[in-house]
Amino acid sequence: MNKNELVAAVAEEAGLTKVDAAKAVDAFVASVTAALKKGEEIRLIGFGTFAVSKRAATTARNPRTGATVKVPAKKQAKFKAGKTLQDALN
């Protein structure tokens, strides 16, 4: 499912126009992004948890040349599915 399909599904489910649903989806994405940038965790009971994890700096090897490459430390977004979502999938 891409963003356009998600907007259409939200519009149908909530009885909104596609324009209003697109605004809602964009607002949700912007809100989650802003909260993760601040280092906050977003918990949606039954759906899941969005969080930020920190990856340490490490070294890797270029498979083509065999040269050692330094991989810098970075933050990474993670999602853990909630119990209700897991139960719905299984």
Backbone CA torsion sign across 9, 13, 17, 21: negative
What is the distance between the alpha carbons of residues 1 and 7, in angstroms, rounded to a whole number? 10
For position 41, what pLDDT does the model report? 96
What is the distance between the alpha carbons of residues 30 and 4, in angstroms, rounded to a whole number? 16
Which residues on neighbouring strands pair with residue 48, listed in sequence order?
44, 81
pLDDT tens, 18-43?
A: 999 999 999 999 999 999 999 999 99
Q: Which residues, at least 6 apart from 38, have a Cβ–Cβ distance to it below 8 Å?
A: none
For position 2, what pLDDT does the model report? 96
What is the distance between the alpha carbons of residues 28 and 42, in angstroms, rounded to a whole number? 11
For position 60, what pLDDT does the model report? 94
For position 88, what pLDDT does the model report? 94
Question: Predicted confidence band at 82 (pLDDT cuts at 50, 70, 90)?
Answer: very high
Look over the chain and give the mean of its residue pLDDT values, rounded to a whole number: 95
